[in-house]
Amino acid sequence: MAPFDLPLDQLERFAPAVPEPEDFDAFWGGTLKDARGNAPLLDLRPVPNGLRLVESWDVSFRGFAGDPIRAWYTRPAGVEAPLPAVVEFVGYGRGRGLPQERLTWPVAGCAHLLMDCRGQGDQYGSGGETPDPHASPHGGHWPITRGILAPEHYYYRRLITDAVRAVDAVRELPGVDPARVVAVGNSQGGGLALAVAGLVPDLAALICTAPLLCHPRRAIDITEAGPYGEIVTYLSVHRDAEQAVRRTLSYVDGVAFARRAQAPAHFGVGLRDNICPPSTVFAAFNQYGARRRDGEHGEAPADALPERTIHVYPFNHHEGGEAVHVERQLHWLNARGTFQSARAARR
C-alpha cells in the first residue's frame, strides 16, 4: 500500500490535543485498586517444551475482577540468578499459543512472561486458553467493540487491567529481578505495553511497535482496516452510537497513557501501515512522558521527559522492521544496561 497518512516531516511534529476524560486517572486508579485486592499469582506449573536451553512454566494469575489469566513463563535453563523480565503482549486475535513459539527474550538471557488475551486466540496463531466471562450487551461481538458503549463495560478495560496484573505477577515469579521489568508488544500488544507504561510508574523500559488504540478517534476517521474497521462497521449499523463510542475510546487512548509514562521507550512504525496509522503512533510518541505522575496536569519541562526513540520504516506496512527491528530493540536495551544486574550496573 502506498503512503496514505501525513508526510514524515509533519508526523515528527504531530502532537494533537487529544481530549481526556476529567476522571481518567480516577477511572484507572479505581479499576486497578479493585483488581489488586488479592495477590496476583494463582498457579505455576512446569511444562515440557521439548527444548534443552530454556525451561517453561504454565502460569495463572488474577486479572480484572480476579479472573484467572493464563501465561507462559520461560527462562534460560539452569540459571538460578534473578534475571530481568520481559512481559510480552500479543497481537489482536491471537492467544499465547505454545511455549516454544517466542524464544527471542529467553535466549537473550531474560525471564519471559507471555500473557494470553482473554476471549481471543481464534483468528491466527496456535490458540488461546483464557475465556472472558464478562459478556456485555453494550456493543458488538468483535473484541474491539465489546462493551464499547460504556467505558466501565469496555473489553479493553479488562484487557489493560490484565496487562498491569501481568507485571504484578512476574515480579513474584521465582528468578525475577522485580526492578528490571520491560513491557513489550506489537500492534494490540504494543497498545497494551504502552498502557502498562502509563499505569505502572517503575517499569525499566517500554518496547512498543505499531501500537493499537493510539488516538483511535483519528484512526476510525482515516482507515477502515481492521481492527479499527470493526468499529467503523459497528457505527455504520448503530448510527446514533458515535458519541458514546468516542467517549469510551478516550478512556483507553494510548496518547493519554503515553503522557503519563516514565520509562525509557523504544517505538517502531511503518509509514504505509493502514492498520495502526503512523499519525496515531506519532501522536503518542511525540507526547510520551509529557504529563507528570504526581497529580499535576501541566506540561513537564523538557529535561524531565523520559528517554524515547522511534525507528521509522518508510516502505513497510504493519509488519514494520520485523527481525531488523527486533535486533534494534535488543541493542537498545543492552546499550542502556537494562539487562545488567544491579551489581553490574554499579561497576
**How far apart are alpha carbons 197 and 193 in whole angstroms?**
6
Say whether 325 is catalytic.
no
Side chain identity, residue 3: P
Condensed to tens digits (0 to 9), the pLDDT of residues 149-205 reads 999 999 999 999 999 999 999 999 999 999 999 999 999 999 999 999 999 999 999
Contact 54, 41 (CB under 8 A): no
The verdict on residue 18 lying in a domain is no
Burial 7-16 (b: 16+ CB within 10 A, else e): eeeebeebee
Query: Is residue 285 scored above 60 in pLDDT?
Result: yes
CATH assignment at residue 51: 3.40.50.1820
- Phi and psi at 208, nearest 5°, equal -140, 115
In the DSSP assignment, the letter for residue 3 is -
Say whether 215 is catalytic.
no
The verdict on residue 151 lying in a domain is yes
How many structural domains compose the chain?
Answer: 1
Query: What per-residue confidence (pLDDT) applies to 80?
Result: 86
Contacts of 129 (CB under 8 A, 6+ apart): 70, 95, 96, 116, 121
The verdict on residue 340 lying in a domain is no
- Phi and psi at 169, nearest 5°, equal -70, -45
The catalytic position among 215, 266, 318, 325 is 318
The verdict on residue 16 lying in a domain is no
Condensed to tens digits (0 to 9), the pLDDT of residues 30-81 reads 999 999 999 999 999 999 999 999 999 999 999 999 999 999 999 999 998 9
The verdict on residue 7 lying in a domain is no
Residue 60 corresponds to which cell in the numbers above? Answer: 495463572
Say whether 273 is catalytic.
yes
**How far apart are alpha carbons 179 and 204 in whole angstroms?**
7
Question: Which of 184, 50, 69, 85 has the alpha carbon at shortest distance from 117?
Answer: 69
The catalytic position among 187, 250, 253, 325 is 187
**How far apart are alpha carbons 121 and 123 in whole angstroms?**
6
Cα torsion through 133, 138, 140, 142, rounded to 10: -40
Which whole number is the average pLDDT over 296-310?
71
Longest dimension (CA), the chain: 62
Domain enclosing residue 195, as ranges = 23-335
Query: Is residue 82 scored above 70 in pLDDT?
Result: yes
The verdict on residue 12 lying in a domain is no
Side chain identity, residue 151: P
Which whole number is the average pLDDT over 77-94?
95
Contacts of 120 (CB under 8 A, 6+ apart): 92, 93, 94, 95, 128, 143
Query: Is residue 294 scored above 80 in pLDDT?
Result: no
The verdict on residue 107 lying in a domain is yes
Cα torsion through 167, 168, 173, 178, rounded to 10: 80
Query: Is residue 277 scored above 90 in pLDDT?
Result: yes
Entry pTM: 0.94
Query: Is residue 217 scored above 90 in pLDDT?
Result: yes
The catalytic position among 5, 67, 116, 273 is 273
Which whole number is the average pLDDT over 310-332?
97
In the DSSP assignment, the letter for residue 74 is E
The verdict on residue 14 lying in a domain is no
